[in-house]
Amino acid sequence: MPSEEEERVVVVTRRGAARLRSGHPWVYRSDLKSTNTAGPGAFVAVEDERRNRIGTALYSSASEIALRFLTSTTVSSDQEFLALVRERAGAALRYRQRVVENSDAYRLIFSEADGLPGLIVDRYNDVLSLQALTQAMDQPAVKQAIITTLIEELAPGSVIERVDPRIRELEHLPQAANGPLYGEKTQTVFTMNGVRFNYDAHTGQKTGAFLDQRENYAAAARYARGEALDVFCYQGGFALHLAHTCSRVIGVDSSRAALEAAEQNAALNGLPEMEWIEANAFDLLKDYAAAGQQYDTIVLDPPAFARSKATLPAALRGYKELNLRALKMLRSGGLLVTCSCSYHVGEADFLQMLTSAAIDAHRTLRLLERRGQAKDHPVVLTIPETSYLKCVLFSVSD
């Protein structure tokens, strides 16, 4: 960790100070007045232009987000910093004990939402997955403090590091491979809402599964019936839940590997009759709609279409095309479960797009539930970026 020989002070502009005092933890590089001796990943004292102390933040020498605020108190030593990291990690674990039900797979630490910016830790039964996304959290002493807390509190079989090469490049971190930080176990079986899933720490997107949809899987199953189509099914999250209430379920994804994993998950749950189709979702829905295919339940859970504000118009066009075709394929009284994980697509934009699609399809949408990410992915009101997932359930009629 950086030397403690002198206090590291970063002075921020009036705009940067106002942002921090409003409760948002990010200061962009354009709002730095000075960085003094701050090194990569250092914890630094933050002051405004009048040299009033604001608190302590984590500094990145590479990211456009130069500071990620940590605490309004002053951290004076590496020992104090590591003690704060362990305290925050313990608090995050206790929060999950209160809010998670019917699952041994969920997010344990959610970056800024848990006061540990740049750190993601997920639980898959007895295998934990850790991602360090900033210079500060990638430091060996910080990771060891986190691992020690996880071992003491949860006694996992292993802690596996998942690496995002693109993020590491942006943060000027050395390239690394996925690998064990503690223990050697990399495979297990986890359960969500009574449905079992295989887990391999070295495969899959994100840290291996889409845990943020866990509560939405159960909500969809409560309303689903008849013939169901799960589009962008990945490894079968929605589809496997729907199989318990629907007479027929078809899962669609463009990834053959994901569909093979979904098929294995179906067999794990004694559901060998499910159908899995490898296809481009846009092309398949276009062909099915033209052929007059009809379903009682349709789930749309696409990847993020809007990676930035600039791509928002194109993203909304893509969402509308998918939803318009789905609405034309639903029988009267059918269920539409439609999602967006794009932060830049706000809930108001998403609902307006659905309104437009409903008008064009000449269908009536009755709102059943308006949902977001699971509670183990907490939303902090002063940090809009912590709220990203939209999941809306509608009853569709003529």
Catalytic residue among 233, 339, 341, 391: 341
Rounded to 5°, angle at Cα 393 from 247 and 293: 45
In whole angstroms, what is the distance from residue 300 CA to residue 326 CA?
A: 8
| Tokens read off for 95 | 């929060």
> How many angstroms separate the CA atoms of 240 and 195, rounded?
7
Query: Is 339 annotated in the active site?
Result: no
Please list, residue by residue across 238-273, b when 16 or more beta carbons sit within 10 angstroms of its beta carbon and e when fewer do. Answer: bbbbbbebbebbbbbbbeeebbebbbebbeebebee
- Positions marked catalytic: 341
